[in-house]
Amino acid sequence: MKVWMKLAILLTLAASQMISAGEPDSLWKNSADFNLALTQNAYSDSWAGGEAGNASWVTTLNTLFEGPLSGSIRLKSTNKLSFGQTMTQDPETKKWKKPLKSTDLIDLEQIFSYSSSWPVNPYFGLRFESQFLDASVDSVKRYVNPFTITESTGFTRRLYEKEKQFIDTRFGFAMREFFRRDIVDTAQQTTTTSSTTDGGLESVTDLNLMVHQNIKWTSKLSMFKALTVSSETADNWSTMDINWENIFAASVTKYISVNLYLQLLYDKQINLRGRFKESLALGFTYKLM
């Protein structure tokens, strides 16, 4: 299946669930949270002391749709989108510098499972991971670059369920396709597309729990052990990759929330050490459903 066809399927499924989510008689369990956080401070050019102003904003959209498609076939659609920028003021001139990207994420995942009488259920998964803007080279804007498409199949089991709370785990075989547009000529702004593929074993555990009356914990632990790789020159390709994402959302009021995002990444092909990301935001939140 061609890459753009896979992406079209992911986007179509995500959009169709948002359109049908509000049906009162629906058997679907849906949730969608939109968040916007803003911070700002500034100093005039007559201010002394070396202070520098800054302004930042970040917006996120997290959705979860789960329910029956047809007969015993169920779909769990998990989608995470976020983008943010930070601007700083020069301490000497007090002029504002060009905004820099602080947060950028596209993560769309669709899991199809077959409900059976077995202790575990067969599943097929399709996942798209990328970012809105590749800002590594300022003069050449590359959107949705790089990106990864993962196709997986195996067995899944729900370990815990209560209303919209759950703990799911799955294990199977996965094929990952990596695509990147590399710059050939900066002046001409021309790029060339390169790709690699690897296959191996995948283990994913998802949880969505209320750890307190007003605090929701969403977590995904993904582990991948490559068994084959298309590029013979790739280094450390057989080392296990780990991606552990955590979102703690605390409701202060109906429309004000505090969100803490923590991510731990380990991929020796990118960096020999683990990578850690943390962001804390207080801002406006709105539950779409």
The model's pTM? 0.88
Instruction: For residue 256, give the CATH number of its domain.
Output: 2.40.230
Q: Choose between 258 and 7: higher pLDDT.
A: 258
Report the phi/psi class of residue 237: left, alpha or beta, with left for phi > 0 and alpha for psi in -120 to 50: alpha
For the stretch 181-211, pLDDT in tens is 988 877 767 788 889 999 999 999 999 999 9
Structure tokens at 32: 């969608």
Task: Quote the CA–CA distance of 192 and 59 in Å, as a whole number.
Answer: 31
Is position 174 within any domain?
yes
Is position 263 within any domain?
yes
DSSP designation for 7: H
**What confidence category does residue 25 fall into, taking pLDDT thresholds of 50, 70 and 90?**
very low
Is position 23 within any domain?
no
For the stretch 106-161, pLDDT in tens is 999 999 999 988 899 999 999 999 999 998 888 888 999 999 999 999 999 999 99
Pair 102, 118: CB distance under 8 Å:
no
Task: Quote the CA–CA distance of 55 and 87 in Å, as a whole number.
Answer: 5
Is position 177 within any domain?
yes
For the stretch 55-70, pLDDT in tens is 999 999 999 999 898 8
Q: Which run of H or of E encompasses 8?
A: helix 3-20
Q: How many domains does the chain have?
A: 1
Is position 211 within any domain?
yes
Is 3 in a helix, a strand, or coil?
helix
Percent of the chain clearing pLDDT 70 (strictly above) = 89
**Range in 91-95, 196-200, 258-262 the model is least confident about:** 91-95
Range(s) of the domain holding residue 71? 3-18+28-287
92 CB burial (10 A radius; 0-12, 13-18, 19+): exposed
Is position 169 within any domain?
yes
